[in-house]
Structure 1
Amino acid sequence: MVAAVRELPASGYAIEVDGLMKTTFATSAGARAGAVELKKRFPLLCIRIYDAEADVREEIRLPQV
């Protein structure tokens, strides 16, 4: 079975959850807020922010207590 491939966004920012693009945002702050909220609710998921302009991914990690 082959999974559907979603294309990377051409601009803005996107939240990537376990390797799959989920939601796009116009601003870095919006993407970060959404990603941190998801990470708090589901700490075992691998959540990253994809920056389309720079073509880089940043992994979201919660601070250690």
Structure 2
Amino acid sequence: MSKSSRNLPASDYAIIIDGLVKTEFATSDGVEIGARDLKRRFPMLQVKIYDAAAGADREVSAS
């Protein structure tokens, strides 16, 4: 799936769940807490954090 098809934010951060952008955050702390909480509650989901400034996403682990 190309990044452009996911409607990625132009600024700040986002949580990507199973390839779809679900929630946007203004701070890195907020997105970290939200993503890790989701991964702990639903470990079967693929949860990633997108950083618009870096133009990259990374996988979140449950721990």
Over alpha carbons, which structure has the higher Rg?
1
Q: 1:41 aligns to what?
A: 41
Taking the aligned partners of 1:59 and 1:7, their CA distance within structure 2 comes to 18
Normalised to the residue count of structure 2, the TM-score between the two structures is 0.88
Gaps of at least 5 residues in structure 2 are none
TM-score, with structure 1 as normaliser:
0.85
The superposition leaves residues 4-53 of structure 1 with CA deviations (integer Å, 9 ceiling, x where unpaired) of: x5511000000000000000000111000000000011001000000011
> Matches of 2:60 and 2:50 in 1, distance apart?
11
Tell me which protein shows more helix as a share of its residues: 2
